[in-house]
Structure 1
Amino acid sequence: MKKKLITLIIITLFFGCKTDKKENEKLNIITTTTMITDLVKTIGGDYIKVEGLMGSGVDPHLYKASEGDVTKLVNADIIFYNGLHLEGKLVEVFEKMKSKTKTPIALAEEIDKSTLIGSDYFASNYDPHVWFNIAYFKQFAKKVTLVLSEKDPKNANNYKENEKQYLEKLDALQNKIKNIIETLPKEKRILVTAHDAFNYFGKSYDFEVVGLQGLSTATEAGVQDVQKLAAFIIEKDVKAIFVESSVPKRTIEALQAAVNSKGHNIKIGGTLYSDALGDDGTVEGTYIGMFEYNVNTIVSALK
């Protein structure tokens, strides 16, 4: 019933009368995840109006569009989302909105598929958590700049300057992260988290990554999953495991209890930001701050 209602809203709004945008009116942009919202705000600056559908701590795997969200999406000038089926419950909405005048832009679809990590779980057949490879996030930035410049050519130079400055900051982040991780011996680079959001991070920085719930939080971990991972932690002598801000911590606490019951002391090393950034106004509320915070938390706990 809800699907039919949302479809009707899309059709009614999409084909209804929409007033022409005034010459000096800012572009109205809707984004999905907090990482993309932060990126678009950084590139667009004061020249655009941005509203993210998902806030801090929101799990994009499980997010469903409300009637209000659909109205925002239909009235937007541009929609940026991750793609690769990360926002699985929004895919049908985006598909219905495709037309000659408006096609929601899936930033991850721009990446060379031959370089992505495969996944049988997602309909895209790829792991969608691509923002944990900074090189991929740079591609996001370039695509956002291109789209904004095409839609708003009078401010194109401003968007390109913002992109230039941001790419320089991402370069600096890459160097900083590399130096921090090099202080952690390779044999200690085993990252155990609530779900498999960090595979691209692991591939980039030579970590073995294990998620209790697999690639999507839509799949619950069972008793056998907990016991199997507990045995792995003991075998590898892992010192710490991590909860995630967008995933209930009960599964990791159950894992900790299972490990400790077998006489192996395991601590929770902290909370990592995986599918969502931290609160607005905090360091972790930006992509760069989140990435650096995560790495410092991981390295400090595993040393």
Structure 2
Amino acid sequence: MRTAPLACRAKWGVSRVHRIKRGLLAAAAAFMSFLLAVGATAQERLAVVATTGMIADAARNVGGDLVEVEALMGPGVDPHAYRQTRTDIVATARADLVLWNGLYLEAQMEEFLLDLAQDKHVVAVAEAVPENLLIGSEDYEGRFDPHVWMNPNLWARVVVTIRDALIEAHPEGEAAFTANAAAYLEELAELSRYTTEVLSSVPAESRILLTSHDAFNYFGNAYGFEVVGIQGISTESEAGLARISELVDLLIERDIRAVFVETSVSDRNIRALVEGARAEGHDVVIGGELYSDAMGEPGTYEGTYIGMIDSNATTIARALGGAAPDTGMQGLLN
């Protein structure tokens, strides 16, 4: 197993200034939340419903003790194909604020959420990202790739939108939400520094990321990787034998030695691709499991947005010949 040289570890280490700054911001945010919570003991916390785990995690970090957040979609759930359940309908009807990604990520729920917005406070948080920063969708004409969370710098813009939505829904919590958001945005900046460093260690000729579907285009733009998905942006698109054959040829021609499965998408196509390449005498391994449309299990590090992106960057770097700590950014902070 490769280990990172001392010089690289020094680069990855978070500077003392950043740690102190983050600590002060977090302490200020916690204190402000405490004061407001004490002053509002007679009031219930703001009820927030989020479609995906990534949005829910951001809302919890910004909302702190002033919010109660429920995510409709858990680990391993594909948001492209998800349809609202009876329980979801009740939860959103009772919520003070509903947050969804938009950009046609929740394709099967879009009509329901747009109708809900006629009577409830409903915000499509990713649609606040300027269009010039979005990537067009090859699957749906006139729409954009919805996977903006794959770039921490773009996701920071979404966090600001979530902060503003919480303030609008609960103006009394503005000071706490602002302080919490500032602390969390510093953590995202730290995440961006780490991912940039480890992914830059992958040799240029090896920066080809082949996964189950096109969820990593923003990742590719941010870190200089060529991204290839067996399926399109939506997992509803089908991958036929011709597509598998085409990608087997690509693996051989480009000497790609590692491909990746996703936690929220069936690994059937990836395994067919690996078997097809081996039948042609080209050895390919599954480089690891990536979090694409859903985070890990609740209560785990990978069950947070920072954990999922850290895990992805570390897994990709190590599988494609780069150098990354065994425990990722989490290990450096402990």
What is the TM-score when the length of structure 1 is the normalising length?
Answer: 0.90
Of 281, 288, 293, 1:275 maps to 293
1:72 matches 2:91:
yes
Deviations 1:56-96 (A, max 9, x none): 11000010011221111122110001000000000010121
Matches within 5 A, 1:137-176: 137-176=155-194
Q: Which has the higher contact order (CA 8 A, sep 6+)?
A: 2
Of 116, 126, 129, 2:144 maps to 126
Taking the aligned partners of 1:44 and 1:98, their CA distance within structure 2 comes to 21
Contact 2:123 2:165 in 1 (8 A): no
Taking the aligned partners of 1:202 and 1:83, their CA distance within structure 2 comes to 21
Change (3 A) 1:65 1:79: same
> Residue in 2 aligned with 1:43?
62
1:84 matches 2:103:
yes
1:239 matches 2:266:
no
Taking the aligned partners of 1:47 and 1:198, their CA distance within structure 2 comes to 33
Taking the aligned partners of 1:27 and 1:122, their CA distance within structure 2 comes to 35
Of 209, 226, 229, 1:208 maps to 226
* Paired residue type of 1:235: E
Matches within 5 A, 1:173-252: 173-252=191-270
List gaps (5 residues or longer) in structure 1. Answer: 1-21
Question: Post-superposition shift, 1:120?
Answer: 3.6
Taking the aligned partners of 1:103 and 1:48, their CA distance within structure 2 comes to 15
Deviations 1:21-61 (A, max 9, x none): x9611111100011111111111111111110000110000
> Residue in 1 aligned with 2:19?
none
* Paired residue type of 1:197: A
> Residue in 2 aligned with 1:54?
73
SS of corresponding position for 1:89 = coil
Contact 1:192 1:209 in 2 (8 A): yes
Question: Post-superposition shift, 1:220?
Answer: 2.0
SS of corresponding position for 1:44 = helix
SS of corresponding position for 1:63 = coil
Deviations 1:180-217 (A, max 9, x none): 01211111100000000000000111000000011111
Of 102, 107, 117, 2:135 maps to 117
* Paired residue type of 2:106: E
Contact 1:84 1:124 in 2 (8 A): no
Identity of aligned residues (%): 42
> Residue in 2 aligned with 1:7?
none
Deviations 1:144-174 (A, max 9, x none): 1111122212221111111011011111111
SS of corresponding position for 1:88 = coil
Contact 1:61 1:216 in 2 (8 A): yes
1:299 matches 2:317:
yes
Give the number of equivalent residue pairs. Answer: 281
Taking the aligned partners of 2:71 and 2:293, their CA distance within structure 1 comes to 14
Taking the aligned partners of 1:185 and 1:237, their CA distance within structure 2 comes to 13
Contact 2:56 2:71 in 1 (8 A): yes
Taking the aligned partners of 1:302 and 1:186, their CA distance within structure 2 comes to 10
SS of corresponding position for 2:265 = coil
Contact 2:121 2:169 in 1 (8 A): no
Taking the aligned partners of 1:242 and 1:93, their CA distance within structure 2 comes to 33
SS of corresponding position for 1:212 = strand
List gaps (5 residues or longer) in structure 2. Answer: 1-40, 322-334
Question: Post-superposition shift, 1:124?
Answer: 5.3
